[in-house]
Amino acid sequence: MNSEQIINNLPYAPPFLFVDALTEISENGVSGNYIFKEEAFFYKGHFKENPITPGVILTETMAQIGVVCLGIYLLQDEIVLKRKLQIALTSNQTDFYIPVLPNEKVTVISEKEYFRFNKLKCKVKMMNSKNELVCRGTISGMILTK
């Protein structure tokens, strides 16, 4: 399964799709990027006259690229059989270091810690275009096919 097919199999759509491209993917990890568009719905009120990307959106971006895209890759044989994905976040611990501004491009890099019984746990970090660490953490989720 190639990057475009993985993105097309994501269970998200705009305005809640936070994956523009995947740059690398293997059974051990994934990297990809996203540009936070200035017109995104969450910038209208976070914060007045000084918009920054909410931490929950940064976490969601890391989860979509770093866990769900990798999970789709790992379960690609099941998905080819037209089985539907069911995804649930099971745990998250993220530390935030610097803000992400409107129109900023970020890169998410994820390393698989384990994938057992359809539970995927990854170490995930987000870098900005200056290669500065934005945030990092550990994200786990259950990825099932039906």
CATH of the domain at 16: 3.10.129.10
User: What pLDDT sits at residue 48?
Assistant: 86
Q: Is the pLDDT of residue 83 over 80?
A: no
Q: Is the pLDDT of residue 127 over 90?
A: yes
Q: Which of 56, 15, 63 is nearest to 39 (CA)?
A: 15
137 - beta bridge partners?
Answer: 94, 124
- Taking residues 74-89, report their average pLDDT: 79
Sequence letter at residue 99? P
CB 79 within 8 A of CB 1: yes
For 27, the domain range is 3-145
Query: pLDDT (tens digit, 9 = 90+) per residue, 48-62?
Result: 889 999 999 999 999
pTM of the predicted structure, to 2 decimals: 0.95
Neighbour-count burial of 61, counting CB atoms closer than 10 A to its CB (0-12 exposed, 13-18 middle, 19+ buried): buried
Does the active-site annotation cover 82? no
Number of domains in the chain: 1
Percent of the chain with pLDDT strictly greater than 90: 81
Catalytic residue among 46, 121, 123, 136: 46
